Amino acid sequence: MDRWNFIKTATILGASSPFTPDMLRSTSSGNPIRTEIYSFSKLFQFLDYHDLASLFKESGIDGIDLTVRNGGHVLPENVERDLPRAVKAAQEHGITIPSIVTDIADVNDPLTERVLKTAANNGIKYYRLAYYSYDHKQSVPTNLEMFKSRMEKLSEMNSKYHLHGGYQNHFGQRFGASPWEIWTVLKDLDKKHIGCFYDIHHGLAESLESWGNALRLISPYITMRYIKDFYFVSTEKNIRLRTCPLGEGMVDFNAYFRLCNELELNTPINLHVEYPLFNDDEKNMSKKDKYKKALAIMKRDTDKLKSAMIENNIV
């Protein structure tokens, strides 16, 4: 049994004697904290529900963060039919679907309540909101009040279905590029039902030196941590982000996890594999060969993540 599985198994069983104090973080009661690892299904939409669940399970992932949006694994208009199928397939492979990624932006869309109700009925706990864009005809404070109103109403609907909605910080021009914007909106809302899915990749890209300050500010509202790596690419026209395998980019995961520990962030971790799985010569490979290649990539990043977690006493 490898070290990760040994520690994980012992944690689940409640064993504490094999561990020295610096090997595991603990709650105030002394019980070790078990951190779940999910992964985003976006780049794996060439797989059906069963193959997706099989691949994630083989990779060592605890749960699927499933796309339930336009062009996703489940289309919102078919949610009542297809989401239960995806959940059942996952269960048959010994894995869960605790989280979904959606197009949900406000309660007025007729699909919003259909998606949330179906998610709740199928054991989903978390969902990611759609991104909000600024209306530059209005002031920034006016926009923030508008976004706050939308999130407040979503929070009320989330309470009805015992769900939590999270907004991702994302590099660029939309609302939430900076966690400071998200904090401004969330600080007066019920953090049990609405919060932030913090992305260190985009947090670092947006503020190379001050990401730690933003993380400290938004930490009480973080309910999931997105993990991926990147580097900057300079072109004649601009500077762009390029996502890459964990450990090959700019993110200092040791520094990040140390700060998470200091802030006692014990939320689930969501691994995002968002760089190309196949080169041009591989796009016509058989389904079996694509599965094999995708599994190798997924397992590489999963193992890298678990190594960083163990190094920083996160189980």
Asked whether residue 21 is domain-assigned, the answer is no
Q: Do strands 194-199 and 239-244 pair parallel, antiparallel, or not at all (unpaired)?
A: unpaired
Residue 279 amino acid letter: N
Judge whether 97 and 64 are in contact, CB under 8 Å: yes
Residue 128, φ and ψ in degrees, nearest 5:
-95, 135
Q: What is the mean pLDDT of residues 184-188?
A: 96
The per-residue pLDDT of the chain, averaged, comes to 90
Say what the pLDDT of residue 10 is.
42
Above 60 in pLDDT, residue 7? no
Residue 225, φ and ψ in degrees, nearest 5:
-115, 120
Cα separations in angstroms, 306 against 7, 53, 96, 193 = 11, 19, 19, 28
Judge whether 260 and 26 are in contact, CB under 8 Å: no
Say what the pLDDT of residue 15 is.
34
Asked whether residue 215 is domain-assigned, the answer is yes
Total domains in the chain come to 1
Above 80 in pLDDT, residue 235? yes
Above 90 in pLDDT, residue 60? yes
Asked whether residue 178 is domain-assigned, the answer is yes
Say what the pLDDT of residue 128 is.
98
Strand partners, 64: 39
Above 90 in pLDDT, residue 126? yes
Asked whether residue 211 is domain-assigned, the answer is yes
- Name the token pair of 143: 């926009």
Say what the pLDDT of residue 30 is.
52
d(CA 272, CA 229): 9
Assign residue 283 the CATH number of its domain. Answer: 3.20.20.150
Asked whether residue 6 is domain-assigned, the answer is no
Asked whether residue 16 is domain-assigned, the answer is no
CA atoms within 13 A on the CB side of 254: 2
- Name the token pair of 208: 């190379």
- Name the token pair of 23: 């090997």
Judge whether 233 and 208 are in contact, CB under 8 Å: no
Q: Which domain holds residue 129?
A: 32-311
What is the per-residue pLDDT across 249-272, written as a single tens digit (0 to 9) for each?
A: 999 999 999 999 999 999 999 999
pLDDT band at 31 (very low <50, low <70, confident <90, very high): low
Cα separations in angstroms, 92 against 97, 291, 302 = 12, 18, 22
Asked whether residue 5 is domain-assigned, the answer is no
* Residue among 141, 129, 131, 143 at smallest CA distance from 194: 129
Asked whether residue 78 is domain-assigned, the answer is yes
